[in-house]
Amino acid sequence: MSSHSPAIDIQGLTKDYPVGFWRKRMRRSLDNLSLQVQEGEIFGFLGPNGAGKTTTLKLLMGLIFPTRGTASILGRPIDDVAMHREIGYLPEQPYFYDYLTARELLDYYARFSRYSTADRRTRVARVLERVGLTASADVQLRKYSKGMLQRAGIAQAIIHDPRVIFLDEPMSGLDPIGRREVRDIILDLKMQGRTVFFSTHILSDAEMLCDRVAVLHLGKLRGVGAPSTIVSMDEQGMEILFEPGEGRSLSASLAQRATPVGGRYRLDVREAELYSALDQLRDCNARILSVAPLRPTLEDYFMRLVERQPEQPTAPVEASTR
């Protein structure tokens, strides 16, 4: 593979699921997704529940089959099982063989990469240390908490030093310390030159970690780029902080739009409406405390996207071959 070809290349990936008693109607879970992830990137895959994130990851892992479209990882098609030596995968809400200990589980998974016994032992100890499970390495997984299972899941995804790591909601179920540790692991992987593709709906994590993000909603890609680019794609605005004038009440339209914040008010307006809003405030004798440009967060972008496109009823699509 050349150094410029993408680590993950998705072209028109579409997935329809049969629904209904006779399974003749189809529900589109992923619609014509195309994107590329470059080697060494941390790529965030964002979207609310049901957006199609897990479907995309399952398609890439070969757990389900696409209705249309193709994808390749490290230049090799996703149905090439040998390519799986180069990838790691943490499923959403992972569940492992609970009769095994974490050490046995990791040793089991390491066997699929054909390491020698001594090599497996070293790797398992190192990865257990990395995810903070050394102390409970010999406890059966049935006695693990959700957070500990998540760490075991991350450990099995990286036990064989994969070049591309797919993590489905890796922060889910973790306490703040656990989330921070997972963030550190992801950053560590980037330092080692690995590509990390992770889905999440915790937007602050994505803003903090990702080189680029893609936003998915109702199975469709809504935007892709650096977190700062993504948010600037949306309309910018201004925030006016003010105190109402003594003895004067706000006009009805201002009172409706302004948000009370501890005796003060905050008014978010579009840039084009700024001067008219200031005029209205001056008429009410309001004391302007500050006027600042709004710096929308990824969360704002995300919420506006979801509000603009509320969940629609299942649209029937053409029957597929699978």
Partner 1 sequence: MSTMSGVVAVNTFREAVRDRVLYNLVFFALLMIGAAILVGQISIGIDRLVIVNLGLSAISIFGLVMAIFIGVGLVYKEMEKRTLYSLLAKPIRRWEFLVGKYAGLVLTLAINTAFMTIGLAAALFYVGRPFVRSDASILVAVYFILLALALVTAIALFFSCFSSPMLSTLFTLGIYVAGIFAGDIRNFGALTKNPMMKGVTSAIYYLVPNFHNFNSIAAAAHGEPIPFALIWQNTLYALLYIVLLLVASSAVFSQRNLK
Given 6, 47, 94, 296, the residue binding partner 1 (CB under 8 A): 94
Under rule CB under 8 A, residue 84 binds partner 1? yes
Binding region for partner 1 (CB under 8 A) out of 107-115, 221-229, 279-287, 310-318: 107-115
Distance CA 106, CA 100 (A): 9
Structure tokens at 60: 């890439």
Binding to partner 1 (CB under 8 A) within 123-182 occurs at 153, 156-157, 166
Mark 193-232 with x for binding to partner 1 (rule: CB under 8 A) and - for no binding: ----------------------------------------
Binding region for partner 1 (CB under 8 A) out of 103-111, 123-131, 218-226, 295-303: 103-111
Distance CA 120, CA 115 (A): 6
In the DSSP assignment, the letter for residue 313 is P
Given 30, 35, 51, 90, the residue binding partner 1 (CB under 8 A): 90
Under rule CB under 8 A, residue 111 binds partner 1? yes
Would you call 3 exposed, middle or buried from its count of C-beta atoms within 10 A (0-12, 13-18, 19+)? exposed
Using the CB atoms, write b or e for 276-313: b if 16+ within 10 Å: ebbebbeebebeeeeeeeeebebeebbeebbeeeeeee
Q: Least distance (Å) from partner 1 to the CB of residue 36?
A: 21
Given 43, 45, 89, 302, the residue binding partner 1 (CB under 8 A): 89
Structure tokens at 123: 């790797």
Listed residue (293, 317, 122) closest to 219, CA to CA: 317
Summarize as ranges the residues that interact with partner 1 (CB under 8 A): 17, 58, 61-65, 81-82, 84-85, 87-91, 93-97, 99-100, 108-109, 111-114, 153, 156-157, 166, 322
